Amino acid sequence: MELSENQPGEKKSVLDQAQPEKTAIKKKTWKIIIADDESEVHSVTRMVLGDYVFEGRALEFLSAYSARETMTLLEKHPDTAIILLDVVMETDDAGLKLAQWIRQDLQNTFVRIVLRTGQPGKAPEKRVIIDYDINEYKEKTELTVQKLFTTITSALRSYRDLRIIEKSRIGLEQIIKSSAHLFEHQPLKNFAKGVLTQLISILKLDENSVYLQLSGFSAINDKSDGEEFIILAATGIYENAVDHYVSDIFPDDVISYLQQAVREERSLFIDDIYVGYFVTRSKKKNLLYLKCCGHLGKLDQDLIKIFSNNVAAAFENLLLNSEIVDTHKEMLMTLGEVVESRSIEVGKHAYRVSLFCHLLALKAGLSQEEADLLRMVAPMHDVGKVAIPDAILLKPARLTPEEFELVKPHTTIGNELFKCSKRSIMNAAAIVAHQHHERWDGNGYPRGLKGEDIHIYGRVTSLADVFDSLSHARIYKEKWPMDQVVAFITKERGLRFDPRLVDIFMENLDEFIKINEQYPD
């Protein structure tokens, strides 16, 4: 829905079709595998530790009566914290072989292995701890209630600390990779979407959040004289809010969080909400808003802050690049208008050609970025004609061969205007101006390029230019009926035009005709 359609009392209409957030959060436990072939050991262990709680989480017991069963449980529950492991089960050394498999084959270095044996002679303590990476070695007769409690507590602390260290490592690695990717040149909306995606990825490093469906949006201050923000990207229930102003869409409680962050000029963690705030050197204020962040600990918050600092630098570079691109766009559009003003009869030719090029480029498999670029520069295909005398350019009859030779240099002149720039938009304009009269068979001008030696931008623009020129009147000719235009393009397949592009054009002819009719001269 457009902003102009918002009526009083309909502030949240964009969210009407959104599904409510689902937070199927399971209560977390510490998983412990009891691996012992004696049923009584299982019963006693469960009874003694039944009411044990560590850092607010109870124990979840998983029972295995052989090494094989234990292996199956570990593969199914990789987040197991402790294994209370018997040495002698189906064989005299089943427990030792299992410990070796856990560390070497399964590559699980996190689970704490507490070896319990009733036959210490079968597994001497020193050799076992060194050779099998065992964390605790206890004779069953040693494990009184108090000692079992102490052993479990010590093992859980070690497991917790290892997980925190690993999560920190992965988080920092993710930040480095994510930040590096975000520094690539890309449209602001793609950047904002990337920020959301990467932040959510970082948040999901917290195991407590794997059951959460995170929702959020990123916004940028769109008015220099106020604090109005426009949504650049959004996920979850806010997905339909892109390109709308925050004040037109969101409820007062969300707006108050954003206003607080702007007022205090800092990022905020409030209850279940995270509001990221950063300002670029050009004083652009940017916000990130995420829900379902109540589970985040200090480590997660620190990771997000590091990430946000990198984002601020990337956003600044992107804004500067965007301003340069906008300047180039404005210049190209101005030049296009100058060219069109030379001949009233050309009308909307340059604009239609840009739309045809954009459509054909997408259908031909070019990326959205390339297609958008081609659309911007396509109006420049005839910019060199500013140097062609009016007597020739506006002649109300077909040109003589000698006069046509005087027109040909417009391709080279157009190329000279743009070729020295290092900007991709200018380079693309140079290609289009220079190559749009090259032919697939090599008989075009100015260089006589052939086949795929002609840049795809030149091949696309050539077909779009001819289609438009034939289907509209010119000072020297009447417009052709559409069936004759199509017949000509088909006849020139593989001669003037790239045969693949002709096939794509014909397969989508209705869409090109629709554009043609939508913007008459």
Residue 102 DSSP label: I
Helix, strand, coil percentages in the chain from 3-state DSSP, rounded to 5: 55, 15, 30
| Cα distance from N-terminal residue to C-terminal residue, the chain | 31
53 neighbors 123 (Cβ within 8 angstroms): no
450 neighbors 509 (Cβ within 8 angstroms): no
Distances (CA, A) of 180 to 323, 472, 514: 22, 49, 42
Alpha-carbon gap, residue 138 to 117, rounded angstroms: 7
Q: Annotate 469-485 with b (16+ C-beta within 10 A) or e (fewer).
A: bbbbeeeeeeebeeeeb
354: tokens are 């840009």
432: tokens are 């289009």
Q: What secondary structure does DSSP assign to 257-312, as a single string?
A: HHHHHHHHTS-EEETTEEEEEEE-TT--EEEEEES--TT--HHHHHHHHHHHHHHH
Alpha-carbon gap, residue 384 to 414, rounded angstroms: 4
Residues 6+ apart with CB under 8 A from 504: 360, 363, 364
> Largest Cα–Cα distance in the chain?
110
The size of the chain, in residues, is 521
List of E strands, 455-517: none
Alpha-carbon gap, residue 419 to 156, rounded angstroms: 66
**Helical packing angle, 456-470 and 424-435, nearest 10°:** 60
213 φ/ψ angles, rounded to the nearest 5 degrees: -100, 105
Active site residues: 385
Residues 6+ apart with CB under 8 A from 422: none
Neighbours of 203 (CB within 10 A): 22
Alpha-carbon gap, residue 376 to 1, rounded angstroms: 27
